[in-house]
Structure 1
């Protein structure tokens, strides 16, 4: 099983890299992009013996306690077999 964890800055936190990318896209005349937020992406390979409920609990805990700074970041994740 694999866990795909996405970590981004909270909406209330300034994202200068995202703003720079958005500005560059406008200058390059790309259309339809209203906002850009940058972040981090993690792939965790989980042990086969882990059941889905335990995997969900453990990945959520890892994301909250290790992969993010809860003051400025938030996360989402998904599990796949």
Structure 2
């Protein structure tokens, strides 16, 4: 089963990388950018075929490794 995990910073958490991206885009001539928030995307291939078990497994992965839940949110999406 294929899945996608998207990890983003919680609102209110400073995003220096996003601010650097805004600066770079502006210096390249892109106008009207009000902000950028960066994140991470993980594409995971699982042997698990049961959707409920797969989501539980992915949530466990996020809680233990893929996301820092103090400052990040995550979303799990099954692609199959």
Instruction: Please report how far the alpha carbon of residue 39 of structure 1 lies from its aligned counterpart in structure 2 after TM superposition.
Output: 1.8
Give the aligned partner of residue 40 of structure 1.
40
Residue 24 of structure 1 aligns to a residue in which SS? helix
1:55 equivalenced with 2:46 (yes/no): no
- Aligned to 2:73, the other structure's residue is in SS state strand
Once residues 57 and 65 of structure 2 are traced to their aligned partners in structure 1, the CA distance between those partners, rounded to angstroms, is 11
Show structure 2 runs of 5+ residues with no match.
none
Aligned length: 80
TM-score (norm 2): 0.83
Corresponding residue of 1:67: 66
Q: Secondary structure at the match of 2:29?
A: coil
Shift in Å at residue 32 of structure 1? 4.4
RMSD: 1.6
Question: How far is 1:33 from its partner?
Answer: 3.1
- Contact 2:4-2:43 within 8 A present in 1 as well: yes
Say whether the 8 Å CA contact 2:55–2:76 is kept in structure 1: no
Q: Is the 8 A contact 2:5 2:43 kept in 1?
A: yes
TM-score (norm 1): 0.83
